[in-house]
Structure 1
């Protein structure tokens, strides 16, 4: 019932909830304190009333005692000054007046004691009133004796000597009993007051304990348990598990933090899935480029072999020409062999030119693939920019949560812990994004170098095609020269000299072609290594991404389709 009350929309603010709980607990404690104060006030009034009553009774006994002593003193004045009739009448009148006062005050006090049901005191005071009445009669008898003795003071004093001791003793006992009764009543009232104080402290203690239990229970249910659930979810996210559902409830600050973390988890999970997809695409492109480079390197090896064969053929042709010089009689046969070798050389040059053109096409294709790889790297860089933006937003959310926790004081300490955890996650995400960005920059650098090397290779192959065309033209000249040798022997020496020079030139060109083929082979090897480095970088990125668990079934299926294609 209480939890339903605090889950109302009116209590969507955590501060209002805490103030409401504090108000309930404070009301409970204040109620117990007010009850105790009222009880203590009543007990105090009762104690004051007892003390005032006792003091009033003591004061009345004291007044009665004083009037009684004045009565005795007036009797002594009668005895001492009774010979004068005027003085005697004056002191007799004072004596009777004091006697009447004593009787009146004694009766009033007796009624008061009976009303207060102080029977022991009333009985003792009643003894005094009775003794006082008897004393009045004896004083009357003594006065008669005093008159009969012709107002002799000694005779009058002898008649009533010692009769006032008993009433005074009774008054003293009554005063003592009143003091004793006052002390007993005071002690009883003090004990009751102590009991009231103990009861009040007990009630306040119980109120504090019950209030603390209620406060702790509500704090645990509304704050601590929810913060623990949110902390558990954040630890799972920090461990890379984005598949676990978040526990979000309520509309207060903790609920808003839960919703923000949920949104962050979903967006980060989608981002990681996209990065995984891009990683598979980069890996696939690196594998294709490596395969293409391997094929290109194989073609370059074949070209180098054919260039070596062509160089050997040209050396053989040069030896043949020199043999023609030495053996003029074998000119026709040598010319025939030279013509045949020239035809073979022209055919080999035609094949070499076709192979080089194919190599140029492969190099162009490889350059395009590397360009596509550079574009993919740019796309990955854009994705990393999104990751950095999300990391900055997460850091801002954590900073706002820390500010709110600082405002909440002690109640916000759990929020501060949660804010530090979220900020740490944002920093680690930013660091990972920075590492990936460095890898992408390195990949871009290698891709740029590969494109530059491919452009150089392309230029070299075009130059090789031109050289092959030149060599083909030279071989055509050789063939024509051999024909002329067959027609006439007069120009054999001159033609053979020209052909020997042409053979040397052709041999140099073939060596240049072989050297260009070796350089192209080296560039292709470097491109292959770069594609392998790109594949390793893609694998490292995939290894980093594999630490996160996301719901990416559809992405995995798309990656499988891409790999199969």
Structure 2
């Protein structure tokens, strides 16, 4: 049946190659390529319609068409009036041949149904133009030709499937189909479905299997039915012959068995007794059967003796190994007990270490908190010191400004003192003038007195002048006293200004020292803050390390716990092994070796 299926697929492949060869032959014609490149549909129809009619009548060609890329129908010689439709969604072979520009052949579903197709690309002057296709329908004509080639013993049917619903496409069977819907779907799913049916009183063997398209996907199911009448008749004759031969063979076997039973039973009974003793564990492995003679029983005795020798050697080795295993089990038990004690000690120690690491981690966390607090305090102190430094700087600037103003006031007072000196000089000149005026007035009075009555008026004037000179002298004295007082006050003011300037300079010096100290304090606090940050980072790293060590200790403790359980199991296994070794020694001792 498989060979017939292979013949079906081979016939499909041959027709696909023939379709491709015809396409290639047409595509190689220069006039065809030129007309296709120009888009001359009328010339192509005129030249190729006779060719299509001939191929259709003689070779069953159902389709002959041209396409432009990617998959547009240019000319259907089997339907010349229909062209220009896009086949991209329906004909993957056309898309592929125009995309890869390589020939494609195989089975594919098309607009007009299922067909065997062969396509080749067309190039003109080095440019890709489109593709040419020949198609042969996979229909009634195909199945009838195939069945005729195999004679009356083979029929086929082809089924297509749409939405899991089978549809009969073509059949050479009288009943059209013999298999069920489920069998067709099973074949569609990739299974080979075999069966037996009767048609017109003829026994038929059936096979259903999928037909794949050009890309390897199932596209149809072929149903093959073969007349198995000849094979059924041959099988019945063979069965009857075998039954007769079997009856004769059984009769002869009974006679031969009866004749040989007396010769065979005695040696077999002896062998059976020995085997029974061995099977019950009471056997003497040193005892041997009589193996003299040339018959099969002597050969059996020889093989039995050889077998018992092997068993004797094996039992002896088992006994020796059992003794060694018992001794090794005792040593292993002792080692397991020591290991168990060591594991218990290790578990206790790791528990203590884990507790200590937990306490250390808590201490490190506390240190980290204190370090963070110290860092915050240092940062606050640093901010206060910076603000104090700024205040001192503002004080220095204010004192410097005050010193400058005091200096300016001192200079003004000095100028005033100098101007007072100038006033004193002017007063000295005025006093001298007043004295001279007084002398002149006195002289004038004397002269007026000498003049008598004629000089009386002049004497009055001289007297007024003398009075004026005296008042001038008196005013000058008062002014001198006032200037002296001003000079004294000015001197006191100058002295006070100088003392203020000195104290201002001293204050500036002291405040500058204070500013320097605050700057140093600021730097020191910044250093403390940086060190606190470093200490905090180090403490955090130590905390992480302590936590990791704690986790490692916990894992070690868990492993120690598991090891303890494993050692307990090992000790228990050693105890059981010792019991098994003891029991094995007892069983081996029952044999005589």
Q: TM-score, normalised by structure 1?
A: 0.28
Please tell me whether Structure 1 or Structure 2 has the larger radius of gyration of its CA atoms.
2
Q: TM-score, normalised by structure 2?
A: 0.26
Higher helix proportion, which one? Answer: 1
